[in-house]
Amino acid sequence: QDHDLRDHGGGGTGDIPAQIEARVVIHAPRERPWQALIDPKQLGAWFNVALENETIAPGVELRGAILHP
């Protein structure tokens, strides 16, 4: 279901979704994105972010700085 988040009058939560989802199409061999998901340097390069983490694991918060073009 699509939601218009611009005007809900009064600032209440109303029917605002609890999460935001997006679909991304990556034009690369299947192995490349999966490798990037486990390597912080590769993941950071894909999203232009300098991640501080040395590893990526379930439940671990990723921290880093957004790199501006």
Confidence of residue 13 (pLDDT cuts 50, 70, 90): low
Q: With helix as H, strand as E and coil as C, how does the chain read?
A: CCCCCCCCCCCCCCCCCCCCCCCCCCCCCCHHHHHHCCCHHHHHHHHCEEECCCCCCCCCCCCEEECCC
Q: What is the pLDDT of residues 35-68, one digit of tens each?
A: 988 999 998 998 899 999 999 999 989 999 999 8
Instruction: Provide CB contacts within 8 A for 65, sequence distance 6+.
Output: 49, 50
